[in-house]
Amino acid sequence: MAQKKIALACTVCGSRNYTIVANPNRIERLTVKKFCKYCNKHTLHSETR
Protein backbone atom coordinates (compact mmCIF):
# COMPACT_ATOMS: atom_id res chain seq x y z
CA MET A 1 0.00 0.00 0.00
CA ALA A 2 1.62 3.24 -1.16
CA GLN A 3 1.43 6.47 0.77
CA LYS A 4 0.16 9.59 -0.93
CA LYS A 5 1.50 13.16 -1.06
CA ILE A 6 -1.06 15.74 0.03
CA ALA A 7 -0.86 19.53 -0.24
CA LEU A 8 -2.06 21.71 2.64
CA ALA A 9 -3.58 25.05 1.62
CA CYS A 10 -4.11 28.09 3.84
CA THR A 11 -7.82 28.71 4.44
CA VAL A 12 -7.29 32.50 4.55
CA CYS A 13 -5.23 33.25 1.42
CA GLY A 14 -5.44 29.87 -0.37
CA SER A 15 -1.71 29.39 -0.93
CA ARG A 16 -0.40 25.83 -0.83
CA ASN A 17 2.44 26.08 1.69
CA TYR A 18 3.02 22.53 2.91
CA THR A 19 3.12 19.00 1.51
CA ILE A 20 2.83 15.93 3.72
CA VAL A 21 2.78 12.17 3.22
CA ALA A 22 -0.42 10.69 4.63
CA ASN A 23 -2.31 7.43 4.73
CA PRO A 24 -4.79 7.27 1.81
CA ASN A 25 -7.33 5.28 3.88
CA ARG A 26 -8.46 8.33 5.87
CA ILE A 27 -12.10 9.30 5.40
CA GLU A 28 -12.20 12.96 6.46
CA ARG A 29 -9.90 15.71 5.24
CA LEU A 30 -6.98 16.78 7.38
CA THR A 31 -7.01 20.25 8.99
CA VAL A 32 -3.93 21.54 10.84
CA LYS A 33 -3.01 24.92 12.32
CA LYS A 34 0.30 25.98 10.72
CA PHE A 35 2.25 29.17 9.97
CA CYS A 36 1.49 30.86 6.63
CA LYS A 37 4.41 32.94 5.36
CA TYR A 38 2.11 34.98 3.10
CA CYS A 39 -0.39 35.91 5.85
CA ASN A 40 2.51 36.14 8.36
CA LYS A 41 0.48 34.39 11.10
CA HIS A 42 -0.76 30.98 12.20
CA THR A 43 -3.87 29.93 10.24
CA LEU A 44 -5.79 26.75 9.56
CA HIS A 45 -4.45 24.71 6.64
CA SER A 46 -6.71 22.11 5.07
CA GLU A 47 -6.03 19.21 2.74
CA THR A 48 -6.49 19.84 -0.97
CA ARG A 49 -7.16 17.24 -3.61
**18-38 per-position pLDDT tens digit:** 999 988 888 899 999 999 999
| Overall average pLDDT of the 37-42 stretch | 96
The strand pairing partners of 34, in sequence order, are 43
CATH number (3.40.190.10, 2.20.28.120, 3.40.50.970, 3.40.50.1370) of 4-47 reads 2.20.28.120
At 4, the pLDDT band (50, 70, 90 cuts) reads: confident
Tell me which residue of 20, 37, 33 sits closest to 45, measured CA to CA: 33
pTM: 0.82
